[in-house]
Amino acid sequence: MEPLKLYMLLLGCTIPGRHTEQHDVFFGIAHKLSDLIPDMKAFWPEAGDKLHVDAWREVTGVGNYQITVVSREETVDNAEQLYFLNLGGYKPGEMEEYHYKMLHVSKDIGTAIREAKETAFCQHNTFTSPGSPAATSHVDDKYGVDVDDIVPVKDILPASVRTQYQLKIVPVADQHPEDELHLGYFQLHKL
């Protein structure tokens, strides 16, 4: 049997009454991607048969940290947490808010936010327009922005998963290889 894996998925659907496709990020733990279908449907029931995956990755490492899934019974002493941040920003002359979804390992949310603001996304999606307020990039949805809204990845996993498994975050000597991103339109029945 394959080992358990942490997955990060970008789900998409066009909900009745909307003019554009909507998206949300889903985290799950499973042996293989297709095992997550029931949890995805439960996460976004309004999507119905329009639900699909636009991108996914198996999360094995972030920066200088290895991420693994272990049993809830195993003793884990994570000095750091794995955070999900959804950054939002703008470009001059474009009627769009662009987003950059990132994972970051940090011992506190303040450090995670400071380091997120150093990303190329934040540097290239902020501008000042004469006669308008500055269009600065920001952290959307307040995932980990202030004390009331700190949401480490472990806390946004499906409840049934949180009772069985936990994430083990181990520092490694060198930068962990980038996780492969799978991009495209993936229908659930073809996963």
> What is the pLDDT confidence band of residue 88, given thresholds at 50, 70 and 90?
confident
**pTM of the predicted protein model:** 0.84
The pLDDT confidence band at residue 136, using thresholds 50, 70 and 90, is low
Find how far residue 123's CA is from the centre of its chain.
Answer: 20
Residues 105 and 81: their CA atoms lie apart, in Å, by 5
170 is in which domain, residue-wise? 5-187
* Residues above pLDDT 90, as percent of the chain: 59
Q: Which residues contact 137 (CB under 8 A, 6 or more apart)?
A: 87, 88, 89, 90, 117, 121, 122, 125, 126
Q: Phi and psi at residue 55, in whole multiples of 5°? A: -165, 150
Res 74: pLDDT: 94
> Does residue 11 carry a pLDDT above 60?
yes
Beta-bridge partner residues of 181: 57
pLDDT at 15 over 50: yes
Q: Please, are residues 67 and 38 in contact by the beta-carbon 8 Å criterion?
A: no
9-13, 142-146, 150-154, range with the lowest pLDDT = 142-146
Structure tokens at 5: 């894996």
- pLDDT of 21 higher than 80: yes
Distance CA 142, CA 151 (A): 9
Domain count, the chain: 1
Quick one: DSSP state of residue 163?
Answer: T
Render pLDDT for 95-114 as a digit per residue (tens, 0 to 9).
Answer: 887 777 889 999 988 888 77
- Secondary element (H or E) of residue 83: strand 81-89
